[in-house]
Amino acid sequence: MADLLLSYIALAMILFSIGFLGIISRKNIFIVYMSIELMLNAVNLIFVALGRYNESMEPQVMAMIIIAIAAAEAAVFLSLIVVLYRNKKSLNSDIFNVLKQKDTANG
| Nearest residue (CB) to other proteins, 11 versus 73 | 73
Binding site for other proteins (CB under 8 A): 16, 19-20, 23, 29, 32, 36, 39-40, 43, 46-47, 50, 54, 56, 58-59, 62, 65-66, 69, 72-73, 76-77, 80, 83-84, 87-88, 93, 96, 98-100, 103, 105-107
Burial class (CB in 10 A: 0-12, 13-18, 19+), 19: buried
Which backbone phi and psi does 86 adopt, to 5 degrees?
Answer: -60, -35
Q: Tell how far CA 77 is from the center of its chain.
A: 11
CB of 25 vs other proteins, minimal distance in Å: 13
CB of 55 vs other proteins, minimal distance in Å: 11
Number of CB atoms found within 10 A of residue 12's CB = 20
